[in-house]
Amino acid sequence: MTRRQVPRPRQLAPLLRFKRWEPSGKRRRLAAALTISDLRAIAKRRTPTAPFDYTDGAAEGELSLARARRAFTNIEFHPNILRDVSTVTTARTVLGGPSAFPFAIAPTGFTRMMHHEGEVAGARAAAEFGIPFSLSTMGTASIEEVAAVQPAGRRWFQLYLWTAREQSLELIRRARAANFDVLLVTVDVPVAGARLRDKRNGMSIPPALTPRTVLNAIPRPAWWLNFLTTPPLEFASLSNWEGTVADLIDRMFDPTVTFDDLRWIRQEWPGKLVIKGVQSLEDAKRLTDLGVDGIVLSNHGGRQLDRAPIPFHLLPIVNREVGRDVELLIDTGIMSGADIVAAIAMGARSTLVGRAYLYGLMAGGYDGVVRSLEILTDEITRTMRLLGVAHVDELSERHVTQLMDLAPRSGFDLGSAR
C-alpha cells in the first residue's frame, strides 16, 4: 500500500518557482525563440508580406534554397568521446583578421525595409559578438554610417560591378577610406533571377501603398508606424530609384563582366579580395590562379539560378583541389550553428549567414539580431562539445558524412564535370 500524507506548506515552498514577469512583449517573444526557425515564425507575424517574402523567398520554384537546406539536414556527425571540452575555442583568423566565431553576417540589400534599424542593428550586434559584418552595395545604410556605429568591429564591403564603372570605383575608394578590410565581389548576378514572390507581391522600392498592402498592414501597425516615421527608405549607394527590384538589377548590373575585370579590381583594392558566387570547381581553380584571397561558394541564397549547385555539396570537392591556396567560405541554407560546424569540418574557413540574421532583425530589430547570434553561437559551442572538439581548427571531414540525397546518378563525377 502506498502511504499518503497531506503536504505541508514548507514542503511545497521549494516547488513553487515562478519566473519574474517580463513587462516587455518583445523580450518575452525573443526569449521564447530557441531556434532560427522560431525567429522566422515571429518575423512572419510582425512583417508585411512583401518585405518578408523578399527575405524568405528565392527564385522560380525555390528549389535551390530548399535543396541547400536539405543538404545540411542530411548530414551525420561522428563524435569522439572522453575528450576534455570544458573549454571550447571557437575563434580563428579569417581573411587576415580575427573572428570570434567561424561565421560573418552576409551582405543583404534593402535591409531597412525588413526593419527600420536595418544594417545599423546588424553591424552593432556583429561587433558585440566579435564577428565581421558585410555591407551590401544595395544596402540602406552608407559605408560611413556603418563605420561610425562599428568603429571597433571588422567591416567587409560587398561590391556589384555596375555598367558605370566610375560608380563602382567610387564605392571601392569610400570603403578603403572607412577601413573596410575585405572586398566581396559578387559575380553571379549578370541579370536578375526570377523571384516570383516579389513579382506577385508587386515588390518595389520604396514599398507602395496600395489597397492590398494597406490590408496587409492592419495586423502589423508597428512596422508601418516605424516605416512612416523614420527617414525615407533609399539606397545609400544609389539615389532617386523608384521601381521593382528586378528592374533595378537589370538596369544597373553589367552582364559583360569577365575575369579581366577582377584584375582591374585587384589593382584598385589593397585589402583582401574575395569572389562571391562561385559554383564550379573550374571557376574556383581559375580564381585561385588569379591570386584572389578568398572564394565564397554560393548560389546567392537560391535567388538567381534555380536548380543551381548546392554549395555544401561542392565544398569538399573544391577544398581538396584549392583549399591549401585560397580561403573558402560558404553560404546558402545555413539555419543553425550545427550547419556552421558541418561546413567548417568540410573545409570552409568561415561561413556567411544572411536569412538567419534577417529573421532576427524582423523579429525584434537589434535585440532580435542579438538573439539570432546568441542562438547560433550557443549551437556552435554545444555541437563542438558534443563532437568532442575543443578547438574549431580540430574540425575535419572525419567528423561529418554528407548522406546520399540529391546526389548525382551513379557514374557522374561532380568534380570532373566542372
- Is residue 22, in this structure, part of any structural domain at all? no
- Is residue 411, in this structure, part of any structural domain at all? no
Task: Give the model's pLDDT for residue 413.
Answer: 52
- Is residue 113, in this structure, part of any structural domain at all? yes
Domain range for 220 is 29-402
Residue pLDDT, tens place only, 15-39:
777 777 778 888 999 999 999 999 9
Question: Which positions are annotated as active-site residues?
Answer: 300
State if pTM tops 0.85: yes
CATH number of the CATH domain containing 222: 3.20.20.70
- Is residue 33, in this structure, part of any structural domain at all? yes
Percent of the chain with pLDDT over 70: 90
Among the ranges given (1-10, 278-287, 398-407), the one the predictor scored with the smallest mean pLDDT: 1-10
- Is residue 122, in this structure, part of any structural domain at all? yes
pLDDT at 201 exceeding the cut of 80: yes
Task: Give the model's pLDDT for residue 20.
Answer: 79
Our count of domains for the chain comes to 1
CB atoms within 10 A of CB 121: 26
Task: Give the model's pLDDT for residue 89.
Answer: 98
- Is residue 309, in this structure, part of any structural domain at all? yes
- Is residue 418, in this structure, part of any structural domain at all? no
- Is residue 23, in this structure, part of any structural domain at all? no
Task: Give the model's pLDDT for residue 157.
Answer: 97
Task: Give the model's pLDDT for residue 412.
Answer: 46
